Chain A
Amino acid sequence: MAEKEPTILQFATLNSSVQEGFWHSFSSLKLDKLGIDDSPISITGFNGPCSHPKVSNYLTLLSESLPLDEESSAASTSNRNKCPVPGILYNTNTLESFKNLDKQSLLEAEAKKIWDDIQSGKALEDPAVLSRFLVISFADLKNWIFRYWVAFPGLVLDPPASLVELKPASEYFSSKEAESVSAACNDWRNSDLTTAVPFFLVSVSSDSRASIRHIKDWEACQGDHQKLLFGFYDPCHLPKYPGWPLRNYLALIRSRWNLETVRFFCYRESRGFADLNRSLVGQALVTLSSGESAETVPNSVGWEFNKGKQVHRSISLANSMDPKRMAVSAVDLNLKLMTWRALPSLNLTILSSVKCLLLGAGTLGCEVARILMGWGIRNITFVDYGKVATSNPVRQSLYTYEDCGEFKAVAAVKRLKQIYPAMESSGVIMAIPMPGHPISSQEEDSVLADCRRLIDLIESHDAVLLLTDTRESRWLPSLLCANANKIAINADFGYDSYMVMRHGAGPTSLSDDLQNLDMNKTNKQRLGCYFCNDVVAPQDSMTDQTLGQQCTVTRPGLAPIAGALAVELLVGVLQHPLGINAKGDNSSSTNGGNNDDSPLGILPHQIRGSVSQFSKITLLGQASDSCTACSETVISAYRERGNRFILEAINHPTYHSPITKKDTRCFPSNVVRALPSLNLNVLSSIKCLLLGAGTLGCQVSRTLMDWGIRNITFVDYGKVAMSNPVRQSLYTFEDCGEFKAVAAVKSLKQIFPAMESSGVVMAIPMPGHPISRKDEDSVLADCKRLSELIESHDVVFLLTDTRESRWLPSLLCANANKIAINAALGFDSYMVMRHGAGPISLSDDTQNLDMNKTNKQRLGCYFCNDVVAPQDSMTDRTLDQQCTVTRPGLAPIAGALAVELLVKVLQHPLGINAKGENSSVSNGGNNDDSPLGILPHQIRGSVSQCSQITLLGQASESCTACSETVVSEYREKGNSFLLEAINKPTYLEDLTGLTELKNAANSFNLDWEEDDTDDEDVAVDM
Chain B
Amino acid sequence: MNSAGAVSDGRLTAEDFSVAARAFADKWKTHNQSFPPWSWVPLINRTLLLSNQQAEGYLSLEKSIILSSLEESPEDESLHLATECSEKEESVDHAILVQNQENEAHYYDFHLVYSASYKVPVLYFRGYCSDGQPLSLDVIKKDLPSCSVSLLAESKWTFITQEEHPYLNRPWFKLHPCGTEDWIKLLSQSSISAGCQMPVELYLVSWFSVVGQVVGLRIPLEMLN
Is there a chain B Cβ closer than 8 Å to A516's Cβ?
A: no
* Closest beta carbon of chain A to B27's beta carbon, Å: 16
**A63→B168 CA distance, assembly (Å):** 9
Minimal Cβ-Cβ distance residue in A for B13: A770
Whether the pair A55, B162 counts as a contact (CB closer than 8 A) is: no
**Which of B51, B79, B181, B182 makes the CB contact (< 8 A) with A775?**
B51
Contact with B along A46-73 (1 / 0, CB 8 A): 0000001011101000010000000110
Contact with B along A16-46 (1 / 0, CB 8 A): 1111111110000000000000000000000
Whether the pair B170, A1019 counts as a contact (CB closer than 8 A) is: no
A313: chain B residues within 8 A (beta carbon)? 78, 82, 131
* Closest beta carbon of chain A to B110's beta carbon, Å: 15
Q: A9-B95, A17-B131, A18-B131 are in contact. Are A1019 and B67 (CB under 8 A)?
A: no
**Which of B8, B95, B181 makes the CB contact (< 8 A) with A247?**
B95
Whether the pair B159, A340 counts as a contact (CB closer than 8 A) is: yes
Q: Which of A154-162, A210-218, A808-816 contacts B (4 or more CB under 8 A)?
A: A154-162
Is there a chain A Cβ closer than 8 Å to B105's Cβ?
A: yes
Whether the pair A21, B116 counts as a contact (CB closer than 8 A) is: no
Q: Which of B32-40, B138-146, B191-199 contacts A (4 or more CB under 8 A)?
A: B32-40
**A17→B133 CA distance, assembly (Å):** 9
Q: Which of B84-92, B207-215, B217-225 contacts A (4 or more CB under 8 A)?
A: B84-92
Is there a chain B Cβ closer than 8 Å to A341's Cβ?
A: yes
**A354→B43 CA distance, assembly (Å):** 46
A299: chain B residues within 8 A (beta carbon)? 91
Is there a chain A Cβ closer than 8 Å to B54's Cβ?
A: yes
Whether the pair B82, A1016 counts as a contact (CB closer than 8 A) is: no
**Tally of chain B residues near chain A (CB < 8 A):** 73
Q: A17-B132, A315-B78 are in contact. Are A330 and B45 (CB under 8 A)?
A: no
Is there a chain A Cβ closer than 8 Å to B190's Cβ?
A: no
Contact with A along B45-86 (1 / 0, CB 8 A): 100001110100000000101010000000011110111111
Contact with A along B136-177 (1 / 0, CB 8 A): 100000000000000000001001011110101111000010
Whether the pair A1016, B161 counts as a contact (CB closer than 8 A) is: yes
**Which of B91, B97, B133, B162 makes the CB contact (< 8 A) with A12?**
B97
Whether the pair B170, A20 counts as a contact (CB closer than 8 A) is: yes
B85: chain A residues within 8 A (beta carbon)? 99, 311-312
Contact with B along A315-327 (1 / 0, CB 8 A): 1110110000010
**A256→B8 CA distance, assembly (Å):** 66
* Closest beta carbon of chain B to A110's beta carbon, Å: 14
**A142→B166 CA distance, assembly (Å):** 25
B166: chain A residues within 8 A (beta carbon)? 1017
Between B36, B37, B83, B164, the greatest number of chain A beta carbons within 10 A of the residue's beta carbon is seen for B164
B176: chain A residues within 8 A (beta carbon)? 337, 883, 1016
Is there a chain B Cβ closer than 8 Å to A407's Cβ?
A: no
Whether the pair B45, A340 counts as a contact (CB closer than 8 A) is: no
Between B82, B94, B176, the greatest number of chain A beta carbons within 10 A of the residue's beta carbon is seen for B82
**A28→B133 CA distance, assembly (Å):** 19
B83: chain A residues within 8 A (beta carbon)? 311
* Residues in B16-48 with C-beta less than 8 Å from chain A: 33-34, 36-37, 44-45
**Tally of chain A residues near chain B (CB < 8 A):** 87
Whether the pair A774, B133 counts as a contact (CB closer than 8 A) is: no
Contact with B along A224-250 (1 / 0, CB 8 A): 000000000000101001000001000
Whether the pair B98, A308 counts as a contact (CB closer than 8 A) is: yes
B105: chain A residues within 8 A (beta carbon)? 52, 54-55
* Closest beta carbon of chain A to B17's beta carbon, Å: 13
Between A22, A320, A1006, the greatest number of chain B beta carbons within 10 A of the residue's beta carbon is seen for A320
Whether the pair A10, B95 counts as a contact (CB closer than 8 A) is: yes
* Closest beta carbon of chain B to A858's beta carbon, Å: 31
Whether the pair B82, A1019 counts as a contact (CB closer than 8 A) is: no
Is there a chain B Cβ closer than 8 Å to A589's Cβ?
A: no
Minimal Cβ-Cβ distance residue in A for B35: A271
Whether the pair B95, A1019 counts as a contact (CB closer than 8 A) is: no
Between B103, B105, B117, B168, the greatest number of chain A beta carbons within 10 A of the residue's beta carbon is seen for B117
Minimal Cβ-Cβ distance residue in A for B117: A1019
**A247→B118 CA distance, assembly (Å):** 53
A883: chain B residues within 8 A (beta carbon)? 176, 178-179
**A778→B51 CA distance, assembly (Å):** 7
**A63→B115 CA distance, assembly (Å):** 23
**A19→B108 CA distance, assembly (Å):** 12
* Closest beta carbon of chain B to A614's beta carbon, Å: 32
Whether the pair B99, A13 counts as a contact (CB closer than 8 A) is: yes
* Residues in A394-409 with C-beta less than 8 Å from chain B: none
A301: chain B residues within 8 A (beta carbon)? 90-91, 93, 96
* Closest beta carbon of chain A to B84's beta carbon, Å: 8
**Which of B51, B63, B107, B161 makes the CB contact (< 8 A) with A333?**
B161
Whether the pair B96, A10 counts as a contact (CB closer than 8 A) is: yes
Is there a chain B Cβ closer than 8 Å to A662's Cβ?
A: no
**Which of B50, B82, B96, B179 makes the CB contact (< 8 A) with A778?**
B50
**A299→B91 CA distance, assembly (Å):** 9
Whether the pair A1020, B117 counts as a contact (CB closer than 8 A) is: yes
B100: chain A residues within 8 A (beta carbon)? 307-308
Q: A341-B178, A1016-B161 are in contact. Are A20 and B44 (CB under 8 A)?
A: no
Whether the pair A55, B159 counts as a contact (CB closer than 8 A) is: no
Q: A12-B97, A272-B37, A306-B82 are in contact. Are A55 and B65 (CB under 8 A)?
A: yes
Q: A310-B86, A315-B78, A341-B178 are in contact. Are A18 and B118 (CB under 8 A)?
A: no
Whether the pair A312, B97 counts as a contact (CB closer than 8 A) is: no
* Residues in A336-366 with C-beta less than 8 Å from chain B: 336-337, 340-341
A882: chain B residues within 8 A (beta carbon)? 117-118, 178, 181
Is there a chain B Cβ closer than 8 Å to A133's Cβ?
A: no
Whether the pair A236, B99 counts as a contact (CB closer than 8 A) is: yes
* Closest beta carbon of chain B to A880's beta carbon, Å: 11
Whether the pair B130, A160 counts as a contact (CB closer than 8 A) is: no
Is there a chain B Cβ closer than 8 Å to A8's Cβ?
A: yes
Is there a chain B Cβ closer than 8 Å to A772's Cβ?
A: yes
Minimal Cβ-Cβ distance residue in B for A772: B15
* Closest beta carbon of chain A to B192's beta carbon, Å: 15
Is there a chain B Cβ closer than 8 Å to A862's Cβ?
A: no
Q: A778-B51, A882-B178 are in contact. Are A316 and B77 (CB under 8 A)?
A: yes
Whether the pair B133, A75 counts as a contact (CB closer than 8 A) is: no
* Closest beta carbon of chain A to B69's beta carbon, Å: 12
**A1020→B81 CA distance, assembly (Å):** 44
Whether the pair A71, B95 counts as a contact (CB closer than 8 A) is: no
Q: A55-B67, A882-B117 are in contact. Are A160 and B52 (CB under 8 A)?
A: no
* Closest beta carbon of chain A to B157's beta carbon, Å: 9
* Closest beta carbon of chain A to B11's beta carbon, Å: 8
**A272→B170 CA distance, assembly (Å):** 29
**Which of A156, A341, A1006 makes the CB contact (< 8 A) with B93?**
A156
Whether the pair B89, A310 counts as a contact (CB closer than 8 A) is: yes
Q: A72-B45, A326-B164, A772-B52 are in contact. List 10 more A-B contacts (CB 8 A).
A: A19-B132, A55-B65, A147-B82, A154-B95, A156-B95, A313-B131, A330-B163, A336-B161, A769-B119, A779-B51
Give the 7 A-B residue pairs with the shortest CB-CB distance, closest first: A1019-B117, A883-B178, A314-B78, A311-B82, A10-B97, A770-B3, A1020-B117
List 20 interface pairs A-B (beta carbons < 8 Å), by A numbering: A10-B96, A11-B95, A17-B130, A19-B128, A55-B103, A72-B45, A99-B85, A157-B95, A160-B94, A271-B36, A299-B91, A307-B79, A312-B82, A320-B171, A333-B162, A340-B156, A341-B156, A882-B178, A1016-B176, A1021-B117
